[in-house]
């Protein structure tokens, strides 16, 4: 089986969450004997080659330079789509992980090659990717209403009228709905994300198969176990160390977490922050709000550094305000034996189970009350620690399920709808 995975970017040029997933899936499929290639775009300066060919992890990577076509609201890049289509002519199946920056006609340009799509975020329904407006007075509309969307993105091009934006957004929406209709299979990493995208795209319920990403790093899969869990025990007498990894921003609820912990006596709590701020000056806001809370900024990290970074922690916390589609950080801390508290917004709450608790997003007082209860009854955290799974699903598990889905598509059989 020859398969092409299409990503927006790829290591080593850039590796965000989606790129990590694509890389892990490529390795997993290769381990199963699949002839896999990765196509990606590049932000590097143009060197005269429209397509750069290289190898990573023993996998052929083609980097496309989007020469001559500017990004528009409609994301129309027919020439780039044609170049991609020419390169996949010999593939049995293509798996599109993102349209950015390829264009909203990519799937249809690849015909007749069957195409699977993973909806990692909400880009098919939002130029901002996540349906989170920087204007707090705007509410994201339901399907088919473009007035708020036009107000949201007009500041990027103030010379264009709101009416023009509404027209272009309607055209964009129609293009992506045609893309989805042309796909041989649709996937999402969580049930809540699948249901939201079904509603926003006007699809029937259960139209999107659920396939979790799993642990992307094999080193983390073998780093947990009983010994790791024992390291995170807390008897209530020592300082409680809370761990937060990933990006720091308003959307991730990091400031909400600091505000929730700020009222406790100095020395009682410590918050370790691994990752980087993604909003300029945000860390200064955290310091200003910390009160008696001890903050430790651990800096950017690679997944291989996580076991050491969270070694002293007793609890992980992810109070995201965003409707997370999956959240790799949760799998990582659970794999390392660390219980986790998560917000009730998005996919994190689907997987934490009894190995933590689910608290309301954007309500620091609720998180403060939960911590106060924990300080009075340390046994609550021990129960959560003991409930951490002995093994977390991995990207290799996901690759095995992907392989079955690909075979189902190629056999023109019914597409299985759910893989945990």
326 CB contacts (<8 Å, ≥6 apart)?
Answer: 17, 120, 189, 190, 193, 212, 213, 347
CB 5 within 8 A of CB 39: yes
Closest by alpha carbon to 335, among 320, 316, 318? Answer: 316
| Cβ pair 271, 261 in contact under 8 A | yes
Architecture of domain 2-214+395-413: 3-Layer(aba) Sandwich (3.40)
The phi, psi pair for 113, rounded to 5°, reads -60, 130
Alpha helices for 67-217 (secondary structure H): 78-87, 106-109, 147-153, 162-182, 191-200
Look at the pTM and tell me if it is higher than 0.85: yes
How far is 340 from 328, CA to CA, in rounded Å?
A: 13
Ramachandran angles phi, psi of 299, nearest 5°: 85, 175
H helices of 188-225, in order, are 191-200, 218-221
> So what's the pLDDT on residue 137?
86
- Dihedral Cα 347, 350, 354, 360, nearest 10 deg: 50
Nearest to 252 by CA among 309, 318, 189: 318
Q: What is the pLDDT of residue 225?
A: 52
* pLDDT recorded at residue 160: 86
Whether residue 227 is predicted with pLDDT greater than 70 in this model: the reply is: no
**What per-residue confidence (pLDDT) applies to 229?**
63
Task: For tokens 């073998």, name the residue.
Answer: 222
Burial of 398 (0-12, 13-18, 19+ CB in 10 A): buried
The predicted pLDDT at position 15 comes to 87
In degrees and rounded to multiples of 5, residue 205 shows phi and psi of -55, 145
CATH number assigned to the domain covering 219-386: 3.40.50.2000
Separation CA 340–CA 358 (nearest Å): 9
pLDDT of 417 > 80? The answer is no
Instruction: Determine how β-strand 240-245 pairs with β-strand 269-274.
Output: parallel
Domains 2-214+395-413 and 219-386 share a fold: yes
**33, pLDDT greater than 80:** yes
* Domain map (residue ranges) of the chain: 2-214+395-413, 219-386
Is the separation of the CB atoms in 273 and 297 below 8 Å? yes
CB 96 within 8 A of CB 64: no
pLDDT higher than threshold 60 for residue 345 = yes
C-alpha separations of 93 from 176, 185, 373 in Å: 20, 11, 52
Quickly list DSSP for 306-351: HHHHTTT-SEEEE---S-BS--HHHHHHHHTT--EEEESSBTHHHH
pLDDT of residue 218: 79
Q: What region, left, alpha or beta, does residue 33 occupy, with left being phi > 0 and alpha being psi -120 to 50 degrees?
A: left
CA angle 327, 71, 281 (to 5 degrees): 50
Residues 267-312: pLDDT tens digits? 999 999 999 999 999 999 999 999 999 999 999 998 889 999 999 9
Task: Residue count of the chain, please give it.
Answer: 420
Contact criterion met (CB below 8 Å) for 46 and 65: yes
Q: Look up residue 357 and give its DSSP letter.
A: E
What angle (nearest 5°) sits at the alpha carbon of residue 293, between those of residues 288 and 296?
85
DSSP 303: G
pLDDT of residue 223 exceeding 80: no
Rg (CA), the chain: 22
d(CA 9, CA 307): 27
pLDDT tens column, 143-193? 888 889 999 988 888 888 999 999 999 999 999 999 999 999 999 999 999
- SS3 state of residue 201: coil
**Is the CB of residue 418 less than 8 Å from the CB of residue 188?**
no
């Amino acid at each position: 089986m020859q398969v092409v995975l299409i990503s927006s970017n790829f290591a080593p040029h850039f590796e965000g969450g989606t790129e990590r997933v694509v890389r892990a899936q490529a390795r997993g499929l290769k381990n199963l004997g699949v002839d896999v290639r990765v196509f990606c775009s590049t932000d590097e300066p143009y060197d005269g080659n429209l397509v750069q060919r290289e190898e990573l992890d023993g996998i052929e990577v083609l980097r496309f330079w989007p020469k001559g076509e500017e990004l528009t609201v409609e994301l129309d890049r027919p020439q780039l789509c044609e170049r991609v289509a020419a390169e996949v002519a010999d593939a049995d199946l293509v798996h599109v992980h993102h349209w950015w920056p390829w264009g909203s006609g990519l799937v249809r340009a690849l015909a007749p090659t069957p195409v699977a799509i993973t909806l990692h975020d909400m880009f098919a329904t939002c130029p901002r990717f996540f349906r989170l407006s920087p204007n707090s007075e705007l509410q994201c509309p339901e399907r088919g209403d473009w007035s708020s969307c036009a107000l949201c993105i007009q500041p990027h091009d103030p010379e264009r009228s709101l009416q023009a934006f509404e027209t272009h957004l309607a055209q964009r929406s129609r293009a992506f709905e045609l893309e989805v209709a042309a796909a041989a299979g649709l996937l999402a990493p969580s049930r809540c994300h699948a249901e939201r995208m079904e509603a926003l795209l006007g699809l029937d319920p259960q139209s999107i198969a659920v396939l979790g990403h799993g642990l992307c790093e094999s080193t983390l899969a073998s780093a947990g176990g009983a010994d790791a869990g024992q390291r995170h025990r807390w008897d209530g007498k020592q300082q409680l160390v809370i761990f937060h990894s990933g990006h720091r921003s308003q959307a991730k609820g990091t400031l909400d977490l600091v505000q929730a912990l700020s009222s406790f006596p100095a020395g009682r709590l410590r918050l370790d922050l691994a990752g980087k701020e993604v909003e300029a000056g945000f860390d200064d806001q955290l310091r200003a709000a910390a009160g008696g809370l001890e903050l430790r900024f651990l800096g950017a990290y690679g997944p291989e550094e996580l076991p050491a970074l969270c070694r002293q922690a007793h609890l992980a916390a992810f109070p995201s305000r965003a409707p997370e589609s999956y959240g790799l950080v949760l799998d990582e801390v659970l794999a390392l034996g660390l219980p986790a508290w998560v917000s009730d917004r998005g996919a994190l709450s689907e997987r934490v189970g009894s190995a933590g608790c689910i608290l309301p997003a954007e309500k620091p007082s609720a998180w403060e009350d939960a911590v106060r209860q924990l300080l009075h009854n340390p046994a609550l955290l021990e129960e959560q620690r003991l409930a951490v799974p002995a093994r977390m699903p991995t990207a290799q598990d996901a690759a095995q399920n992907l392989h079955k889905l690909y075979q189902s598509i190629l056999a023109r059989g019914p597409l299985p709808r759910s893989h945990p």
